[in-house]
Structure 1
Amino acid sequence: MLGGTSELAPDPKDRRFADAIWTESGLWRRVAQSYLLTRDCVLGSVDELELDQKSADRARFALMQVTEAAAPTNNLLTNPTALNTLMETRGRSAVAGGRHFLHDLLHNGGMPSQVDTRPFQVGVNTASTPGAVVYRSPMFELLQYAPRAGKVYSIPTVLIPPQINRYYFLDLAPGRSFVEFAVSQGFQVFCISWRNPTSRQRGWDLDDYAGACLEAMRVASAISKSETVNIAGFCAGGMTTSSVLSHVAAIDPTLVNAATLGVTMIDSNVHSTLNMFASERTVEAALARSGKRGVLSGASLAKMFAFVRPNDLIWNYVVSNYLLGQNPPAFDVLAWNSDTTNMPAALHATFLDMWLNNALVQSGRVSVLGTPVDLGKVDTDLYVVAAVTDHLVPWQSAFAATRLFGGDVRFALSNSGHIQALINPPGNPKATYFINEAGNGDAEDWLNGAEKHRGSWWEDWSTWSSARSGVLRSRPRSLGSPRYPRLADAPGAYVTE
C-alpha cells in the first residue's frame, strides 16, 4: 500500500473523497489509503475485545468520533481540494473560513453552521399554508387550515407534532407541505403548535401534553361538527399520540375514528445508535442536567444528534465553511432543524423512563391521565409510516405497532431518513415506499414480501385516510366557529417564541 498500489479505496458514497485528485494523484491516494486502513484497524479492534453488544457499540461509537475527526479531509494541509481553493482564491477562502469560525464560536456554541437561515421567514415562505389560530391555551395554539377542495370530508384530522421541534416541518414550504397536500385532498386539517417551554414550565409532563391533545381534538370536533376525529402523531408526538389513544380507548372510545403514526418509536429495545446510551447512569445524568435547568435545551439535543452522524452533520460543514470558505447552504429542512425548542424537565423524565423501560411495549408500565397505557386495547384503524434509513427511530421499532395495537394496522416503509421521509411530496422522482398487502407478521418477513412503489406514501395515506374520514360535504365558509372564533392568522404566535 505504501506504493499506492493497494486496492483499498473509499466507499463511492463517501463524499469526503469525491474529488478526482484522491484517485488520480499517487500521493493523495496514499494519504487516503493510509487513513482508511488506520480507521478500519482502530474500529475493528473492538471486535477483538469480546464485549457485549451494547458495550461494543459504545466503544465503536467513541472510537468513530476520533477516527472521523482525524480524517485528512478535515485538515487544511491534508485536504488537496482546500489547498487548491486557497491558491485559486489567493487566500480569500481562508479569510472567509476564519470569519465563519469566529461567528460559530460566538453565536453557534462552537458548532459549524449547517444552514443560512436568512432566506426563510416563518409565515412567509415556510409555514405559509393559509389558516387561522382558532384556539389558544398556555401550552399550545390550534391551527385550522383553509380548505382548498370544493368539498371536504366530515371527520377532521388533527396533527400532533413532536414536543421537541417546531410543528412546521409538516408545513415546510409550498409544494413540500404535508398540510398543503392534505387540504388539497379534501381533508379538514387542524394542527397543534406547541409553545416553547422555559424553566417556568419545567413541570409540564406527559399528562399535561396528553390533556392538551384531548383539548385540541374536542375543539376540532366542535368546530367541524363531527362527533369523532382522526389524529396523526409524529416522532415524540407519536409516542404521546399512542398514550392518548390508549386513554381514549378507556374513557371515550368513539372520540378517535382512525389514527396515523409517523417515525414513532414503539419498541425501544430495537437496536439503534441511540440505544447504546440507554443505561441508568446516562439517564440519571441527563435527568440531572434538565432538572437543574428546568428544560432540556433544543440546542443541546441538536448537538447530541449531530454527533450521531458526525461526518454528515459536523465535519462536512467544517470543511465547506472553514477550509473552503463557503457560505452554509440555504435549505428549508435545515433551517427548520436549526429552529430548536426546549423540552420540559418533567416530560423529559417521562420520555426517558419510557425509552429505558420500553414502556409502550409493556402493558401498564406507564399511565396517562390516570389510565394504564395498553396499546392492545386500541382497536381503531392505524396507519404507520417509518423510514428505511432512520438513525433515530429504526423502522423495526415503528413496525412493532403492527403487533401491539389492537386494531387493523397498515404499515408503509418510506425511503430516506427520519425527517426527509415525512417531507416527501408527490412528484419527487426519488420517492419510493414499500407496502405488503398480505399482512404484517415479522418485520423482516414483511419486508421480504413487500412491494416497492414509486412515488410518495402521502398518496397511499390519502387513499387510506379518505376511506376513514366520513362523507364529503360543502366546505366551511369561514374558519373557527362562534364558540371558537378566529384569533389570528396562521402560523400564530407560539411558533416564533
Structure 2
Amino acid sequence: MLRSTQGRIPATGVSGPGADRGEPLTKTAETKIALVTPDATPDGEGRADGFGATDAVRALTGAVGQGRVVLRESLRLGLELTKIAVGSSDVASAEGDRRFTDQAWTGNPFYRRVQQTYLASVDAIDGVVEEWGRRVDHRHAQEAAFASTVLTSALAPTNYLLTNPAAVKEAFDTGGMSLVRGARNYVSDLRRNGGMPQMVDPDASTVGVDLAVTPGAVVARDEVAEVLQYTPTTETVYERPVLVVPPPIGRFYFLDLRPGRSFVEHAVSRGLRTFMLAWRNPRAEQGDWDLDTYAQRVSDAIDEVREITGSDDVNVIGFCAGGLITTTLLNHLAATGDTRVHSMSYAVTMLDFAEPAGLAAFSAPGLLKMVKGRSRRNGIISARDMGSAFTWMRPNDLVFNYLVNNYLMGRKPPAFDILAWNADGTNLPGALHVQFLDIFEDNTLATPDAMTVLGTPVDLGRITLPTFVSGAIADHLTNWKNCYGTTQLLSGDSKFVLSFSGHIASLVNPPGNPKSHYWEGGEPGPDPQAWLGAATKKTGSWWEPWADWVSERAGERIAASTRLGSDEHTVLGDAPGLYVRDLLPSPTA
C-alpha cells in the first residue's frame, strides 16, 4: 500500500541527532529548488518563499543521508518498478488527486506506467523524509518535507507537455492553438506576475463593484487603518457592537466577498452592529510599524466604535493574525483593569507555536536572516514576497495546477472570488514581520513575560474574557490543535468549534451548503483529540454557532438606526473605503 502522494509536512518530530549533510548533494538540490521557486536563492537572501532554500535543502539532504532508510526504500522502489514494467503493479493515485483524472492515466499503457513510476518514486521519497521527521525536531522535519514536496510536485508528469495526455489531446484538437495561447499566457505572466502563473483572471472582478459590496461607510480613518460601519438590514439590532479585526496580511474583503458569501453580510443579517478595521497597505516609509502600532490601532478603533454606538464596551472577533494582534491588546487591558472589551472570538488564530504547524515554516533560520536583512534595506516585505511564501506551501494546488491550465492547456485562469482576493496581496512592515517570525521561532507569545507590547509584558493567563475559538480540520497554515490551544492559554470560559475545511475555505463558509459541517462540543479540556472524540458533528457553517454565541453577549435588542457614524465621527465615504484599493484621501479631505 502506497502512502498519499499529495505532499505532506510531518506532523511531529522528536529531538535527536541529525545525519551528516553532503555538500555536493546540497548544491545540486539548491539549484533545483531555485528552478521551481524563483523567489528563493541558495544564500537565503532571496524573497520569502516560506523557507530559505539552504535551510530546506540541507534538511532534505540530511534526510537522504540516512543510508539504511534510503537502501530500504530503494529496494522497495526497485521491486515496484519491476511490477510496473511488466504491468502487474496496482499503484494508483490517491483519491482526490486531480492531476490524474484523465482516463488515459489508467487506460493507456504508456501513461499508466509513467504515472505509476512517478507515484512509486514519490512514495519512496516520502518514506525517507517521514523517517527523518521522526528523528529530528519539527522544524527540520518541516524543512525537509517542504523541499521534497516542492521537488516532487515540480517533477509530476502532468507538468510537462509530452507526459500530460490531456494537454497533448488539446494541442491536437486545436491545431496547436492551445500551445500558442499558452505561450501568450506565459509572456503575460512574465510581464504582470513575476513569472508565476496567474491563479485568476485579474480583470474579472473589481473591489467595490463585484467584491466587498455590503453597504456601509467609512466612519474613521488615520494613517494605519480605516474603520467601516455597515448598514443594518434588520429592524432591531443588538446593543453591543462587534468589531472585526482582520489580519494585516491580505485585504479584509475575504470577509466580504460576493453577496451570499460574505461573513459581514451574515453578521449584519443576524442583527449585529458590525464594524470592520480595514488596514492600510504599508509602504517602505511605514516599515517601522510593529505590534505596538497595530495593537494601538485596535484600541483606538474600539474607542471609535464605542463613541459611535454609545456602548460602554464591544465584542471583538479576530481573524488569523488579527486575533494575535488583538490578544496583545487584551493582555494590556487586563493588566491595567480596562474593561472596554466584553468578549473575544478567534477564527483560525494561533497563539501557541510550541507544536508544529504550517506557519512555523516561516521560522527557518535562513528566512529569519533574510527577512531582517531585507527589512533593514527595504522596510517592508512586499505583497509578491508574501504571496510567494504562502503559495509554495501548497505547490500542487497553487502553482502547478495553474501552470498546466494556463500554459499547457492554453486556457485563461478562472474567475473566482477567493482567488481574486488571494491575488490582491498586501505588503507587511518589516518590523511587524520580524516580530511575527520571532513569535513563530521562540513561541514568545505563549511564554509569560517573554515579550512586551504597549509597555506591558505579555502573560496570556491574565486574560479572563469569555472566548469563542474556531479552527479548521484541514488547515495547512494554522493547525486546528494549535488553535484549540488558545482555550488552554487564556483564563476565561471558552467555547471551541471545529470547521470541516481548510484555512480560507473555513472562513468563507456561508450557511446553506449541505456539504458543510462542523464539530461542536462541551467545555474544552487539555486534550484536543479527546474533545473531538466527544464532539457532535453538525451540518452547516460555524458562522451560525458563532452568531448565536456572540448574540448572547450582545445585550438587548434596540431599534436600528439608518444613520452611520456620529457627530464626532462623520461619514468619510462609502464602504469598502479607500485603503482596500490602495487609495489615499486628498489633502483637503
Q: Tell me what 2:385 maps to.
A: 300
Tell me the alpha carbon deviations over residues 406-435 of structure 1, each in whole angstroms, 9 at most, x when there is no partner. Answer: 111111110111111011111012211111
Moved more, 243-252 or 464-473: 243-252
Asked whether the equivalents of residues 359 and 440 of structure 2 are also in contact (C-alpha less than 8 Å), the reply is no
Moved more, 53-62 or 161-170: 53-62
Q: What pairs up with 1:99-110 in 2 under 5 angstroms?
A: 99-110=184-195
Match for residue 432 of structure 2 among 341, 347, 364: 347
Q: Tell me what 1:16 maps to.
A: 99
Q: Tell me what 1:314 maps to.
A: 399
SS of residue paired to 2:205: coil
Normalised TM-score (structure 1): 0.97
Q: Which amino acid aligns with 2:89?
A: S
Q: Establish whether residue 2 from structure 1 lines up as the match of residue 2 from structure 2.
A: no
Distance, in Å, in 2 between the alignment partners of 1:31 and 1:37 is 10
Match for residue 203 of structure 1 among 277, 285, 288: 288
User: How many angstroms does 1:368 deviate by?
Assistant: 1.2
Q: What pairs up with 1:268-417 in 2 under 5 angstroms?
A: 268-417=353-502
User: How many angstroms does 1:217 deviate by?
Assistant: 0.4
SS of residue paired to 1:419: helix
Q: Tell me what 1:460 maps to.
A: 545
Q: What pairs up with 1:39-188 in 2 under 5 angstroms?
A: 39-47=122-130, 51-53=135-137, 54-188=139-273
Asked whether the equivalents of residues 55 and 276 of structure 1 are also in contact (C-alpha less than 8 Å), the reply is no
Structure 2 vs 1, CA of residues 93 and 281 (structure 1 numbering), >3 Å: closer, same or farther?
Answer: closer
Asked whether the equivalents of residues 358 and 478 of structure 2 are also in contact (C-alpha less than 8 Å), the reply is no
Q: Percent identity?
A: 45
Asked whether the equivalents of residues 413 and 435 of structure 1 are also in contact (C-alpha less than 8 Å), the reply is yes
CA root-mean-square deviation: 1.4
Moved more, 244-253 or 365-374: 244-253
Distance, in Å, in 2 between the alignment partners of 1:459 and 1:274 is 27
Distance, in Å, in 2 between the alignment partners of 1:56 and 1:215 is 42
Q: Which amino acid aligns with 2:136?
A: D
Asked whether the equivalents of residues 363 and 438 of structure 2 are also in contact (C-alpha less than 8 Å), the reply is no
Q: Establish whether residue 490 from structure 1 lines up as the match of residue 575 from structure 2.
A: yes
The answer for unaligned runs of 5 or more in structure 1 is none
User: How many angstroms does 1:252 deviate by?
Assistant: 4.2
Tell me the alpha carbon deviations over residues 94-125 of structure 1, each in whole angstroms, 9 at most, x when there is no partner. Answer: 01100111111111011100001322111112
SS of residue paired to 2:85: coil
Asked whether the equivalents of residues 376 and 406 of structure 1 are also in contact (C-alpha less than 8 Å), the reply is yes
User: How many angstroms does 1:58 deviate by?
Assistant: 1.9
Q: Tell me what 1:444 maps to.
A: 529
Q: Tell me what 2:116 maps to.
A: 33
Distance, in Å, in 2 between the alignment partners of 1:481 and 1:60 is 54
Q: Tell me what 2:19 maps to.
A: none
Distance, in Å, in 2 between the alignment partners of 1:355 and 1:275 is 6
Q: Which amino acid aligns with 2:116?
A: Q
Distance, in Å, in 2 between the alignment partners of 1:316 and 1:222 is 49
SS of residue paired to 2:506: coil
User: How many angstroms does 1:305 deviate by?
Assistant: 1.1
Moved beyond 6 Å, runs of 4+: none
User: How many angstroms does 1:382 deviate by?
Assistant: 0.5
- Equivalenced residue count is 497
Tell me the alpha carbon deviations over residues 212-268 of structure 1, each in whole angstroms, 9 at most, x when there is no partner. Answer: 001100010010000111111111111101111111112243200011111111111
Q: Establish whether residue 424 from structure 1 lines up as the match of residue 509 from structure 2.
A: yes
Asked whether the equivalents of residues 237 and 560 of structure 2 are also in contact (C-alpha less than 8 Å), the reply is yes
Distance, in Å, in 2 between the alignment partners of 1:145 and 1:252 is 30
Distance, in Å, in 2 between the alignment partners of 1:339 and 1:56 is 31
User: How many angstroms does 1:281 deviate by?
Assistant: 4.0
Structure 2 vs 1, CA of residues 478 and 410 (structure 1 numbering), >3 Å: closer, same or farther?
Answer: same
Tell me the alpha carbon deviations over residues 344-363 of structure 1, each in whole angstroms, 9 at most, x when there is no partner. Answer: 11111211111111122111
Distance, in Å, in 2 between the alignment partners of 1:135 and 1:430 is 39
Distance, in Å, in 1 between the alignment partners of 2:577 and 2:145 is 45
Q: Which amino acid aligns with 1:349?
A: V
Asked whether the equivalents of residues 4 and 29 of structure 1 are also in contact (C-alpha less than 8 Å), the reply is no
Distance, in Å, in 1 between the alignment partners of 2:515 and 2:121 is 35
